[in-house]
Amino acid sequence: MQTGTVTERRPTRQIHVGSVPVGGGAPVSIQSMTITKTSDVEGTLQQIYALAGAGCDIVRCTCNEQAAAEGLAQIVPRSPVPIIADIHHQYRMALAAMEAGVQGLRLNPGNIRKPDHIKAVAREAKDRGVPIRIGVNGGSLDPALYERHGGVTPEAMVESAQQELAYFDEVGFDLVKISVKASSVPLMIEAYRQLSEATDHPLHLGVTEAGPPPAGLVKSTAGIATLLMEGIGDTIRYSLTADPVEEARAGRQLLEALGLRERKNVDLIACPSCGRAEIDVIAVAKEAMEAFGEREIPLQVAVMGCVVNGPGEARDADIGIAAGNKRGHLFVKGRNVAVVPEDEMVDTLVEWAEFINEHGIEAAMARADTVKAEREAAKDRSVLLAAQGADANHAADKIVEIRKTVTS
């Protein structure tokens, strides 16, 4: 893990959702939720496998009816990751889900409000050692709390979680994590801040109903990342109106970007493109992203629009490709190592990245003819400089026009 990027994490207790530790210094885990009917066992399992492949550590499935609970009994033993049952209004579904063998439950205090029902579930969860997430949701806050606080406020959401905790305390149950999600980013941030002051139970972060990407990604990242950077949060979920695999991917990418999880896949960087670009950088970067897909190659890979500046601008990348004079110039740690026809550049990039991942940078350098590659790169660089001049973006011409405009 990178260090020095995130404020020290706030200490929380540790619980286990099946084999996955949550809180107490464990790596921040990634969650998502299936969107199939849980009674569709094969369809749900397919989605769970896709989520696990995209880096999801824990998957939640709805348990809203008897058929769903029966589906869970078949899903749980075949799932590659722990399964949490999401309980809506019927506490009996929580009991049924535990009977099915789920490794965790999510209860919404706004939906199951009878103390006897809450305590019956907590007692059973205690006996079975199954953790429960108290999942407060701004949109379904207990009406009594809504009334008392004059709306959905951070204080009301925290109080809702504390009320539920008090019921759990009465039966001696404490395998708990908590969320206080809202669709408003400032509201959820403040609610989690207050909650983290009030409890040391692990916290599950999320912006609820964030919507489709890209807005949903932006909102979720704004809320989740802000809190993680303050050391708050032990497990996260992006709630997107999209294929859940996108949620898992986004969660993993966020944690990797913040240095909270080891990099698993390629970190693709690309130049913003400019007048020097010899290729359509957006299209080639997309092609490269698709070619790397879910391959487990934890390298930083650069796609650069020109060989004039690309290798230098991306010298910190492990490997990269820069276009020039209809050719692709491959570079490793800023040094040119090979030159290939432009239409082979993405395939070559993937092939060399796989080689580096397996054998290391030094082996790649030993394999390269750097003298020839650097000579060819220098040749293409001078062809481009001769054709485009030193100011390919015509900035100097624009500055002359600006000066005329301002002084006239």
Interacting residues with ligand SF4 (CB under 6 A): 271-274, 276-277, 304-306, 308-310, 313
3-state SS assignment for residue 190? helix
**Nearest-approach distance from CB 331 to ligand SF4, in angstroms:** 12
**Nearest-approach distance from CB 97 to ligand SF4, in angstroms:** 53
**Nearest-approach distance from CB 297 to ligand SF4, in angstroms:** 22
Q: Which is nearer to ligand SF4, 300 or 309 (CB)?
A: 309
Q: Which is nearer to ligand SF4, 236 or 307 (CB)?
A: 307
Q: Which is nearer to ligand SF4, 165 or 304 (CB)?
A: 304
Structural contact between residues 79 and 108, judged by C-beta atoms closer than 8 angstroms: no
Q: Which is nearer to ligand SF4, 4 or 272 (CB)?
A: 272
Q: Which is nearer to ligand SF4, 274 or 399 (CB)?
A: 274
How far is Cα of residue 30 from the mean position of the Cα atoms in its chain? 7
Number of Cβ within 10 Å of residue 396's Cβ equals: 10
In order, the DSSP letters of 121-133 are: HHHHHHHHT--EE
Angle (CA) 88-245-243 rounded to 5° is 70
C-alpha dist (Å) from residue 392 to 107, 302, 342, 385, 396: 60, 21, 21, 8, 10
Q: Which is nearer to ligand SF4, 134 or 373 (CB)?
A: 373
Q: Which is nearer to ligand SF4, 365 or 392 (CB)?
A: 392
**Nearest-approach distance from CB 371 to ligand SF4, in angstroms:** 23
**Nearest-approach distance from CB 334 to ligand SF4, in angstroms:** 13
Q: Which is nearer to ligand SF4, 232 or 306 (CB)?
A: 306
Q: What are phi and psi of 140, to 5 degrees?
A: -125, 40
Helices and strands, counts by H and E, the chain = 15, 15
Residue 392 to residue 106: CA distance in whole angstroms: 57
**Nearest-approach distance from CB 310 to ligand SF4, in angstroms:** 4
**Nearest-approach distance from CB 278 to ligand SF4, in angstroms:** 7
Structural contact between residues 129 and 154, judged by C-beta atoms closer than 8 angstroms: no
- Those residues with Cβ within 8 angstroms of residue 344's Cβ, 6 or more apart along the chain or in another chain: 328
Structural contact between residues 256 and 267, judged by C-beta atoms closer than 8 angstroms: yes
In order, the DSSP letters of 259-278 are: TSS---S-EEEE----TT-S
**Nearest-approach distance from CB 344 to ligand SF4, in angstroms:** 20
Identity at 45, one-letter amino acid code: L
Q: Which is nearer to ligand SF4, 274 or 378 (CB)?
A: 274
Among all residues, whose Cβ is closest to ligand SF4? 305
Residue 149 to residue 402: CA distance in whole angstroms: 56
The tokens 């004059």 sit on which residue? 150
Structural contact between residues 217 and 238, judged by C-beta atoms closer than 8 angstroms: yes
C-alpha dist (Å) from residue 93 to 217, 232, 286: 32, 31, 44
Residue 352 to residue 361: CA distance in whole angstroms: 10
Structural contact between residues 392 and 368, judged by C-beta atoms closer than 8 angstroms: no
The tokens 């004079």 sit on which residue? 325
**Nearest-approach distance from CB 299 to ligand SF4, in angstroms:** 19
Q: Which is nearer to ligand SF4, 223 or 310 (CB)?
A: 310
**Nearest-approach distance from CB 34 to ligand SF4, in angstroms:** 41
